[in-house]
Structure formats: C-alpha cells, structure tokens
Amino acid sequence: MIIIIKKGTPAEEITRISQELQENWQIKPEVVVGRHHTIIGAIGDTATIDPSIFQEISPWIERVLRVEKPFKRASREYYHGQASEVIVSTPNGEVSFGEHHPVVVIAGPCAVENEEMIVRTAKRVKAAGAKFLRGGAYKPRTSPYAFQGHGESALEMLWQARQATGLGIVTEVMDTVDIEPVAEVADILQIGARNMQNFNLLKKVGLQSKPVLLKRGMAATMNDWLMAAEYILASGNPNVILCERGIRTFDCQYTRNTLDLAAIPVLRSLTHLPIAIDPSHGTGVAAFVPTMAKASLVAGADALVIEVHPNPAQALSDGPQSLTPEQFDDLSREMALLNQVINDRVQPVPALI
C-alpha cells in the first residue's frame, strides 16, 4: 500500500507515522520524497488490511492506496505517478538518468580486448558525448568454446579507461561471487538478458549500493521484467535502470532480435524507473543501429546503450553490430540535432492516481 502525505506535513509527523506502521503493523515503511508529494510505501503483508484503517493513523495522511500490480516498488503508483531518477557519480561528475534529464549515452565495445583499445575507444566515445563506457570483462557466450572475456584483468583495463577519461563504467556481472570485484570498478552493474531471472544474483546486487542496469530477458513479459527489478528494489537498492535489448520472435532472418520500442511508452505508464534502449543487441546489425537509436531517442528513451569498436571486423565478439567511432560520431551529431526539437523529451503519460 502507499500512503500519500499532505503537503506541509511536519517531518516529525512522517517519522511518527513510520514508527507506528513498524511497531503496530510490522511493516517496514519506505519514505519516498517526490517532486510534488511525499509518500510512504508500506510493503508487506497488507493484503488483508483495510486501507481506511491506515487512513486513521494521522490527519496528515491525504490518501491510502493499494497497489494492484504484482510489482509494488517498481510501479509508477509508488512514486505517486511521477518518475524517479537514478543519479550516478562518475569521475566527471554526477550523471542523472530519468525522464526529466537529457538522454544519457553509454557506448563502447562488446568486450574489453586490451588496454590500448579500451582506452582509445573511451576517448573517442567521450569526445562524441558519451557519459559512460561499456565493455564486458565477463562475457556470457552461447558456446563454451567462444571467447569468455578477459575477466579480472579486463576490470583493471576498464579502471585505466575510467582514469584516463573520467567516464563512468558499465560492465556486466554474471555470478554472485563476482559482484564485489566488479563493483569496485563499475559505476553501474549490468545484469544481462540471460540472467534477468537469476534471482539470487538480483537479490545480491540489491544488497550493494551501485546502480544496476537490468536488461530485459529475451522472452520476458513486461511483468516478468518489472518483477525482476522488484527483486533488486526489495533488497534495498532503489537505483535500477531498465534496458530493452530486443526480444526473441519468429522473425530473425535479418535481425538478431525484435527491438520492442513500444516498451518505452508502456514502461512509462507502468513504472517510475528510467528506461534505456540497446539498439545494437536489439537489431544485431550495425547498419540498422543509427536509425533505431534515433527512433529510441524520439520515443523518449532516458538512455542509449550503443556498441562501438575501433575495428568491428576484428572484434572478438559482436563485431557485426558494432559501430565504428566515425559512425558513432555521425550518429551523435544527428542525435544532437533531434534533441534540439525535443526540448521537452518527456511523453505525457495517462494519469495513474
């Protein structure tokens, strides 16, 4: 349930309500300070409680609402219909993800191949406007005989690229035992599509403090995906960015996946969490990436994840879907142009509460 607090309520009253929820109702309250309202999230065994009973706890309570969706903390209602933001510290300063902020570009190669290439790529994508460098240290590969990533030594190379450019680092964590070393280097931990329902991994990234980029599983419904986010939120980490990267359908002759761009307005109406799009995995074909990146921007994406490799033909993985630095420069220029006419990038969403 969510308890909407009246404007002007004294802080001590909010504390008192919270305490009463905890003591009398065994509910761990979460205070969410939004743009227009403060709400108290009351998640727990509330299914049998009549909301009107909560209403009586204080005259400062405006309204008490039950969240009907299976995802609670991830639901837009939980922020009283507003969007939340994920603020990430990077050496170059704070970067904010969310519908009231400019689109954030995360770029870089599929895998970290060597220090020279990752530092060089980082400089190039920074120059074109990217705020984060992506690059895989641990790579989930369909074949056990394929390149599996350079692991720990790749983390060290990412650190060097971070030092050299000040870009934030986004890299994937695949196993609970790797969370700690990865979180030492990464500014955002990525959970890959194949691990979207690796629930132990979700719980454990929820117990640490680095933000999480949660990719959509290739057969995940919206509810599945938001429930996966809910695992992280319920463990205590509120900083989750959702990333659409294409779903698996019958149509895969000319693209690797089917990029579900309507996920942007759908998610906007369902959740307060920021939304990223990965057109590189979404199409699997470099020639299609700029078109879909621009379409994503116009559709309201809060972030874009784009694979850039200094020499795609020689890439150890995902070469066919990687842009060259020159192609990425061109795309960045085109996106800047589009940004001028979408000053107010935010899409209106249906009122939910």
Could you say which residues in the range 218-277 bind a copy of itself, by CB under 8 A?
218-219, 221-224, 227, 230-231, 234-235, 247-255, 258-262, 264-266, 269-270
Find the shortest distance in angstroms from Cβ 284 to a copy of itself.
Answer: 10
244 beta partners = 277
Q: Which residue in 24, 26, 143, 209 binds a copy of itself (CB under 8 A)?
A: 143
User: Residue 349, interface with a copy of itself (CB under 8 A)?
Assistant: yes
User: Residue 175, interface with a copy of itself (CB under 8 A)?
Assistant: yes
User: Residue-wise over 164-175: b if at least 16 C-beta within 10 A, else e?
Assistant: bbebbbbbbbbe
Strand order in the sheet with 2-5: 28-33, 38-43, 2-5, 61-65
Contact 105, 276 (CB under 8 A): no
Give the nearer residue to a copy of itself in terms of CB position, either 211 or 300.
Answer: 300
Question: Total residues contacting a copy of itself (rule CB under 8 A)?
Answer: 75
Find the shortest distance in angstroms from Cβ 164 to a copy of itself.
Answer: 30
* Residue linked to tokens 């307005």: 265
Residues numbered 184 to 223 that lie near a copy of itself (CB under 8 A) are: 194-195, 197-201, 203, 217-219, 221-223
Residues numbered 54 to 83 that lie near a copy of itself (CB under 8 A) are: 70, 72
Contact 162, 133 (CB under 8 A): yes
Give the nearer residue to a copy of itself in terms of CB position, either 129 or 284.
Answer: 284
Find the shortest distance in angstroms from Cβ 261 to a copy of itself.
Answer: 5
Contacts (Cβ under 8 Å, ≥6 apart) of 71: 223, 226, 227, 229, 230, 270, 271
277 beta partners = 244, 304
Contact 242, 274 (CB under 8 A): yes
Q: How is residue 217 written in tokens?
A: 């599983």
Give the nearer residue to a copy of itself in terms of CB position, either 290 or 312.
Answer: 290
Distance CA 212, CA 189 (A): 5
Q: Which residue in 9, 96, 160, 347 binds a copy of itself (CB under 8 A)?
A: 347
Give the nearer residue to a copy of itself in terms of CB position, either 173 or 315.
Answer: 173
Give the nearer residue to a copy of itself in terms of CB position, either 90 or 280.
Answer: 280
**Secondary structure (3-state) at 101:** coil
Residues numbered 97 to 136 that lie near a copy of itself (CB under 8 A) are: none
Find the shortest distance in angstroms from Cβ 117 to a copy of itself.
Answer: 23
Give the nearer residue to a copy of itself in terms of CB position, either 11 or 341.
Answer: 341
User: Residue-wise over 316-337: b if at least 16 C-beta within 10 A, else e?
Assistant: bbbbebbbbbebbbebbeebee
Rg (CA), the chain: 21
Give the nearer residue to a copy of itself in terms of CB position, either 183 or 234.
Answer: 234
Residues numbered 276 to 335 that lie near a copy of itself (CB under 8 A) are: 282-283, 287-288, 290-292, 294-300
Contact 294, 335 (CB under 8 A): yes
Find the shortest distance in angstroms from Cβ 120 to a copy of itself.
Answer: 26
User: Residue 85, interface with a copy of itself (CB under 8 A)?
Assistant: no
Give the nearer residue to a copy of itself in terms of CB position, either 161 or 201.
Answer: 201
Q: How is residue 162 written in tokens?
A: 């971070």
